Amino acid sequence: MKRLCAVAAGAAFGATSAFAGGLERSAQSVAILFEQGEYAEFTLGSFSPSVSGVFGGALASGDMASSYITYSLGYKRALSDQLDLAIIVDQPVGADVDYPASAAPYPFAGSNAEVRSTAVTALLRYRLPSNISIYGGLRGQSVKGDLQIIAPAVSPAFTNYNLAADRDFQLGYVVGVAWEKPEIAARVALTYNSKMEHTFDTTETGLAPVALTGTMDVELPQSVNLEFQTGIAPDTLLFGSIRWVEWSATNITPPFLGAAIVSYPEDIITYNLGIGRRFNDQWSGAVTIGYEKNEGAPVGNLGPTDGFKSIGLAATYTMDNVKITGGIRYVDIGDATTTTIGSNFADNEGIGGGIRIGYSF
């Protein structure tokens, strides 16, 4: 039964790292803390969305969502019988927006945006009596971004608008509590991730004859994760997660443009559920489903999606100390109407996949 934990982790990766609400690129799982002994892993994932809409019932946007690749690294070791250490490197937020120029005269044709991030998280877990453990640590996160809006999306009176937000580094924290019952492979982990308040040095062009420099405060939101698993039959595991992120607290407003280029009307809750099955000593498999509610409120033109439904498959091959998990996921992306111009984005979808290699020392 314990080997199914690897399947659960691999399948959850496929279900959460590929696509989620807001700018999210990582579900910030703490599952690596519960691996046995000394352990390291590398995960590589990709997602290929197809997102397009129509303005005024006639002007098509073209596919404005670029494919992207994510990675993560993790290392865990026991420091004593009661104390464990884990180090996680991931990309918690990101964006890849590219409205095709060939879609002109669609209002945002040729506009693009990019957000990049890297985070390093160090966690300690202390085991208490009665199968309870507490854990926590620090997260260092760096983020940068660039935006280009092609006139007349800003205003016919302006030239093209550009924003460069230099890389900014901030510290946050993680705290959590977990309960386990190893004889039935049961575990529940509740984790709080603090918000990150970034202050970016910015350069804006297109609003004046010269470049305008300033600073921009952006809050990347706090979140709460509930991760769980339990054996439900011999060699069969039920697992899942519920993740709440306070995206309504995030507002990206450049100092001289004076209008929000990214904001979210609601907080976002993401649900994932899966069943894993061990077929023999080498092979295990899992099926996962995911869901985010379609809120129905207008969304920004740089992220014209609203909720999703997904289904995924994962398989794990175990050989001596090595576990290799591969997964694929189909996402039905929720319909949305954009702010400012009121474009309708509907019938969109995406395919994600990835591989995780884990090694036990």
CATH code, residues 4-360: 2.40.160.60
pLDDT score recorded for residue 11: 46
Q: Where are the chain's structural domains?
A: 4-360
pLDDT score recorded for residue 18: 56
Prior bond to 152 cis, omega within 30?
yes
**Helix or strand holding residue 10 (H, E):** helix 4-16
Task: Calculate ∠ Cα 282-38-228, nearest 5°.
Answer: 70
For 83-94, what is each residue's pLDDT tens digit?
999 999 999 999
pLDDT score recorded for residue 12: 47
Q: How far is Cα 76 from Cα 43, in angstroms, rounded to an integer? A: 15
> Residues of the chain whose pLDDT is less than 70?
1-18, 152-158
Q: How far is Cα 240 from Cα 349, in angstroms, rounded to an integer? A: 23
pLDDT score recorded for residue 14: 45
pLDDT score recorded for residue 21: 79
Q: Which residues have CB under 8 Å from 261's CB, separation 6+?
A: 113, 147, 163, 252, 253, 254, 300, 302
Q: How far is Cα 45 from Cα 43, in angstroms, rounded to an integer? A: 7
pLDDT score recorded for residue 19: 73
- The Cα-based distances of 219 to 86, 192, 246, 251 in angstroms read 26, 16, 10, 7
In the beta sheet, which residues pair with residue 118?
142
- The Cα-based distances of 95 to 65, 138, 238 in angstroms read 9, 24, 32
Query: Which tokens sit at 132?
Result: 């309870």
Prior bond to 304 cis, omega within 30?
no
For 191-207, what is each residue's pLDDT tens digit?
999 999 999 999 999 88
Query: Which tokens sit at 154?
Result: 């800003």
* Phi, psi of 29, rounded to the nearest 5 degrees: -70, 150
pLDDT score recorded for residue 153: 57
Helix-then-strand count for the chain, H and E = 1, 23
- The Cα-based distances of 107 to 84, 149, 158, 252 in angstroms read 53, 10, 14, 21
**DSSP secondary-structure letter at 74?**
E
